[in-house]
Structure 1
């Protein structure tokens, strides 16, 4: 249990912003003695001085400066919770569309949708599964207002969400594993399994190079073909965790660049209807990734063998 109350944190933040106990008291509608007493109790609890008193001014100490941004964030989160409770309507109905790149871990998507259903059991969510420029295209033409992808259109309000690690892999008995350190020239002699762009821009991931390629439209198909020994591919590490643990799929020994990373962003465009529900969906994805993202690299978070796109 925390020993410092939210009200004490409010007084700390107000004092830091106003620069004096008197002005903080006026801002919060309290007495100066109440503010100074609260700050003194905080300092006793923490065992640290938070303010240096210089005449009538209260200046943050080094410790105070360190915790001030976190205290502001705490107060902001509390205010958000209050606003959510005031505007929250669990009986709301409607639909929100979201474009999600297929490299986003499926289990995180499942968890987020399950949590969102607890908030809005009568609300529908349309998920567009995309690759490369697909999410940008869907947000640009208005089919979705929220996107999770490495590329989102200009003007999107976005934030970093999750880094996805890719490995260049092949089935354990693939001939490439007998070649030692591999160069990109050596890879070109073998079939590569490639994900196509779901958008009309026909973008390339930039990781192509093989003369022989099988191009597929979904990550699950790519994983299935690699499992079947039909070629090598750059695959998200989370999608083949169980295979690597079992030794059925192995990373190729590239001379350089055997691991690559894609930064996925969470973003939204102009939201018209269902603003409250859309913002809550953003929050659910943000919290789900924060709470469960470490699991996405474990063996249990993979594409099941039977999950092949039709």
Structure 2
């Protein structure tokens, strides 16, 4: 049986927060005597002095300072417990699992996640990064509630989200740039292509997006690995413009001058299996994501 109640700890905290017993009385709308009694009961139960009063100034004793840290933690946890209870009673989910293809713009994703997290501070968000068919597979298996993927499922709800533009690039020192002429796809086949592996676990469903049957092929698991390799002159590839803008601006990467097919575009889909079952936090994520992607599609002002 606890000898000190949560309310007594709250009165102790109020005295510190407001700078004195009289100020705390006004701040928490309690009588000064009730606050004095609460603090006195803590001191009597523990055999410690929590405050020293010199003139009109109320200060913590060393023991009071130590207990204040623990009391703050206790009160914070009590608030969280109440918030969780309210959240559960309102039907708000406690976890949200999202699969996102690696080509989706990270700045938009982070902004949306922060917005949702601010609205639902106790929400645990699990982000699974995938490539090609991986996000749709995770959704089909029930491992995530929402998928952002270049493949659209035949089940559930799927909508066009945004287009991602890819450009053919290589390091400025790559031999392809030394040809000093417009390049053909046949020219590219003589050099190493870096390809990103489909993250699906089903071998029969794995795709090789953009594969040209080049004489030499390196396959990697992540877009960032491909970007790093190409920046070091180890090959060429079509890469998402939103992920390589800085490297193009800094001169670490250079667009290949192809006579055709210089750029490609991939459609990303927003998919979830059952709109009636997703919770308020998931709906908030969907709404914020759609709004940001509408802005993405709007032409930039010069």
State the TM-score, normalizing by the size of structure 2: 0.64
Question: Where does structure 2 lack aligned partners over 5 or more consecutive residues?
Answer: 1-86
Partner of 2:283: 279
| Worse overlay, 263-272 or 164-173 | 263-272
CA 1:227–1:254: 2 relative to 1, 3 Å:
same
Partner of 1:191: 192
CA contact (8 A) 2:112 2:289 kept: yes
Moved over 3 A (4+): 87-93, 271-274, 291-296
Q: How does 1:119-198 map to 2 (within 5 A)?
A: 119-179=119-179, 180-198=181-199
CA distance in 2, matches of 1:249, 1:225: 11
The offset of 1:204, in angstroms, is 1.6
Partner of 1:258: 262
Q: How does 1:173-252 map to 2 (within 5 A)?
A: 173-179=173-179, 180-199=181-200, 200=202, 201-252=205-256
Partner of 1:267: 271
CA 1:159–1:188: 2 relative to 1, 3 Å:
same
The offset of 1:275, in angstroms, is 2.2
CA contact (8 A) 2:168 2:236 kept: yes
Partner of 2:53: none
CA distance in 2, matches of 1:130, 1:208: 22
1:245-264: CA deviation from partner (whole Å, max 9, x where unpaired): 12221111112101000011
State the TM-score, normalizing by the size of structure 1: 0.63
SS in 1 for 2:258: coil
CA distance in 2, matches of 1:242, 1:193: 20
SS in 2 for 1:166: strand
CA distance in 1, matches of 2:267, 2:88: 32
The offset of 1:166, in angstroms, is 0.2
1:180-209: CA deviation from partner (whole Å, max 9, x where unpaired): 111111111111111000002221214332
The offset of 1:294, in angstroms, is 6.2
CA distance in 1, matches of 2:92, 2:299: 32
CA distance in 2, matches of 1:220, 1:177: 22
CA distance in 1, matches of 2:261, 2:140: 33
Question: Where does structure 1 lack aligned partners over 5 or more consecutive residues?
Answer: 1-86, 297-310
| Worse overlay, 224-233 or 241-250 | 241-250
Q: Tell me how large the CA RMSD over aligned residues is.
A: 2.6
SS in 1 for 2:291: helix
CA contact (8 A) 1:191 1:210 kept: yes
SS in 2 for 1:261: strand
SS in 2 for 1:97: strand
The higher radius of gyration belongs to 2
1:159-184: CA deviation from partner (whole Å, max 9, x where unpaired): 21111100000011111012211111
